[in-house]
Amino acid sequence: MGLTGQRKQPGRTKRRTEGRRSSALSRGAKERRGIQSADKAAEVLMALVEAGQGAQLRDLAKTINMPPSLVHRYLASLIASGLAIQNKATGLYDLGPNAIRIGASALARVDPLRLASEAMPELVAATGLTALLTVLGDRGPTIIRWERSYVPFFTTLAVGSVLPLTGSASGRAILAFTPARIRDRLIASNAPGHGDDSVNKLAERFARIRKRGYDTTDSTVVPGLAAISAPILDLQNEAIAAVTLVGARTDVGQAGSQAIERLLETTAKVSRACGSRRSSS
């Protein structure tokens, strides 16, 4: 008799089960909506980054192919979180203080020389050429990393070797992306004796390097060897280092445009990680 009142009622149990299932589905839907909202907000934030300056609402909406009303809603959230700001005078939207803090913190954690060193083995495997990583030292471009290819060649160059400042592809690739006032002082102190004609020719060469993103040399530093060099750039598009492919003149000639393309891809990737926004050539 006492158990009669505790008998389970199938209908009520089924409703409770369906209710729990419905609740779980509802939570899942909310989570998906939350993730989608975060993704959309990130798109708006990246549109602000790519704009490179204050941008109008309609331009941001056009960039990411999103209705202006929806972009406005996400911008309001970004402004509330300090990731975006709106200029009251112009109405333009831009990155906020917290976005700048995030960017500065990320850049502070980047080690460009480590990133370049890690990328060199793949570059060597793809081109069959030896790769050098050089930085500008007190005496000129100094080799700090050497990644040998499977094709042997004889050279006296090694880690620690200093290359000619204006006579090597590595030196010129770095100088081309060095501020003029610093570049001129370096040339005057490390490579004296340049007349007006030589200075003008160097200036023209630096302009070509900046345009195409790399420089070459043929048997200038070491007889029989040729080189292709491209810089690693920072946030201000100034040279941090240079990655140089070296090989016998015939090997570099055979690699040709493929080696240049892979070199530019590698240096552009590392440069972007260092904050550079220069488009690859």
Residue-wise pLDDT for 10-57, tens only, equals: 555 555 555 555 555 455 544 555 456 788 889 999 999 888 889 999
Query: What CATH fold (topology level) applies to the domain 110-273?
Result: Beta-Lactamase (3.30.450)
CA 110, distance to chain mean position in Å, is: 10
C-alpha to C-alpha distances, 75 to 59, 78, 99, 279, nearest whole angstrom: 13, 5, 13, 27
pLDDT over threshold 50, residue 1: no
**Mean pLDDT throughout 158-165?**
88
- Portions of the chain given CATH number 1.10.10.10: 13-107
Q: Which residues contact 218 (CB under 8 A, 6 or more apart)?
A: 226, 249
Query: Which span out of 189-193, 196-200, 235-239, 264-268 was modeled with the highest average pLDDT?
Result: 264-268
Q: pLDDT for 94-142, tens place per residue?
A: 999 998 888 777 767 768 899 999 999 999 999 999 999 999 887 789 9
pTM of the full predicted structure?
0.68
Give the pLDDT confidence score for residue 189 in this predicted structure: 79
Right CATH number for 13-107 from 1.10.3720.10, 3.30.1650.10, 1.10.10.10, 3.40.50.1460?
Answer: 1.10.10.10
- Portions of the chain given CATH number 3.30.450.40: 110-273
